[in-house]
Amino acid sequence: MTIVQIYTKYATIYSITNKQIKYLTALRNKKYRQQHGVFLLEGSKIVSELLHSELKIEKVYAVAEWAAQYHSLLQKKGCSFEVINNKTLKRISQLTTPHQVVATAEIPQHAIAPKTLAKNYHLALDRVQDPSNLGAIIRTADWCGINHIFCSPNCVDAYNFKVVQASMGSVLRVKVHYCPLETLFKENAGCAVYGALLDGKNLFSVDFKAEKKGFILLGNESKGIQRSLLPYVDVPITIPKKGGAESLNVAIAAGIICAVANLQ
């Protein structure tokens, strides 16, 4: 379908209703995302990845040029979409410079097969609260082939817009779960817990091939891993430092540890 045909066919619905705009802007709030079970995505790259994912799409709102380019994929996916003008896009966008398309998708409910957890590495995050950090961690996990991330209930919401954007589409593939980490570790006692601590064993001396697989535990950006979780740590690990920096960004630390664990 050409841009001209798109303009002609959808000429009467360039401006979506105020009710729709109110709904879309409400999804910026965690309370309403949880209430509706839906989250927002924005930009050509991430929405095109959404169209290729297994997630259920609620609706796509796109300018005519984007709708024309992706029309066959939209039809193949069978998802509802509306063509909007740039003025409307600016009203619903959370970006300073809107990127052609906004979409809503259902928040996935990921199942866990407990018996498979001991066969792989997974991330466990304790009170990670910065959206950019969580987004970067999800992206790193995706790169390293880590399929599950377990977050404590007081971590930032993985479907926060900033997290989704920072993940660069990886949140569509990596399965993010929220649960009390104490319960997770108790119920999966056959898995090892590698805790990132300042006084742990040198990361590069740990033989990840010889050790049991399980959870790589990282703590809050400023406070680290809370004390109640320390008894569950089987292998304390640390990234050795040579400079004067007081601490290492949690997303960077996750990248280094995941790379070392997966390269062995």
- Is the same domain home to 246 and 152? yes
| pLDDT at 250 exceeding the cut of 60 | yes
Asked if 95 and 180 sit in the same domain, the reply is: no
15: pLDDT strictly greater than 80: no
The answer, yes or no, to whether residue 12 has pLDDT greater than 50, is: no
Q: How many CB atoms neighbour CB 162 within 10 A? A: 15
Domain count, the chain: 2
Residue 214 neighbours by CB under 8 Å, 6+ apart: 117, 118, 121, 122, 188, 190, 191, 192, 193, 194, 234
The pLDDT tens digits of the residues spanning 118-133 come to: 899 999 999 999 999 9
The mean predicted confidence, pLDDT, of the chain is 91
Q: How far apart are CA 261 and CA 259, in angstroms?
A: 6
Judgement on whether residues 91 and 123 belong to the same structural domain of the protein: no
For the stretch 84-94, pLDDT in tens is 989 999 999 99
pLDDT (0 to 100) of residue 112: 82
Which of 38, 73, 106 terminates a domain? The answer is 106
Question: In CATH, what number is assigned to the domain containing residue 87?
Answer: 3.30.1330.30
Q: Do both 145 and 182 map to the same domain?
A: yes
As a whole number of angstroms, the distance between CA 167 and CA 161 comes to 10
* Mean pLDDT calculated for residue range 206-228: 92
CATH number of the domain bearing residue 231: 3.40.1280.10
CA dihedral sign of residues 178, 180, 182, 188: negative
Residues 195, 252: one domain?
Answer: yes
Q: How confident is the model at residue 264 (pLDDT cuts 50, 70, 90)?
A: low
Please tell me the pTM assigned to this model.
Answer: 0.92
Q: Name the β-bridge partners of 151.
A: 125, 178
| Residue ranges making up the domain that contains 21 | 3-106
Residues 89 and 186 in one domain: no
CB 220, CB 152: distance < 8 Å: no
On whether the CB atoms of residues 170 and 49 are closer than 8 A, the answer is no
Residue 184 CA neighbour count, 13 Å, CB half: 28
Q: Let me know whether 121 and 85 are in one domain.
A: no
263 pLDDT above the threshold of 70:
no
Q: What is residue 249's predicted lDDT score, i.e. its pLDDT?
A: 95
Q: Are residues 147 and 240 in the same domain?
A: yes
Of 89, 106, 123, which residue constitutes the final position of a domain? 106
Residues 148 and 60 in one domain: no
Q: Which of 81, 106, 131 is the last residue of a domain?
A: 106
| Token reading at 239 | 């990234």
Q: How far apart are CA 205 and CA 56, in angstroms?
A: 44
Q: Could you tell me if 140 and 18 lie in one domain? A: no
Residue 13 DSSP code: G
Confidence at residue 13, expressed as pLDDT on a 0 to 100 scale: 52
Asked if pLDDT for residue 51 goes beyond 90, the answer is yes
- Do 166 and 78 share a structural domain? no
**Quick one: pLDDT at residue 172?**
97
pLDDT in tens, 162-196: 999 999 999 999 999 999 999 999 999 999 999 99
pLDDT-above-70 percentage for the chain: 94
pLDDT, position 11? 47
Q: Give the model's pLDDT for residue 262.
A: 79
The answer on 175 and 145 residing in a single domain is: yes
Question: Considering only CA atoms, which of 234, 243, 245, 247 is closest in space to residue 206?
Answer: 234
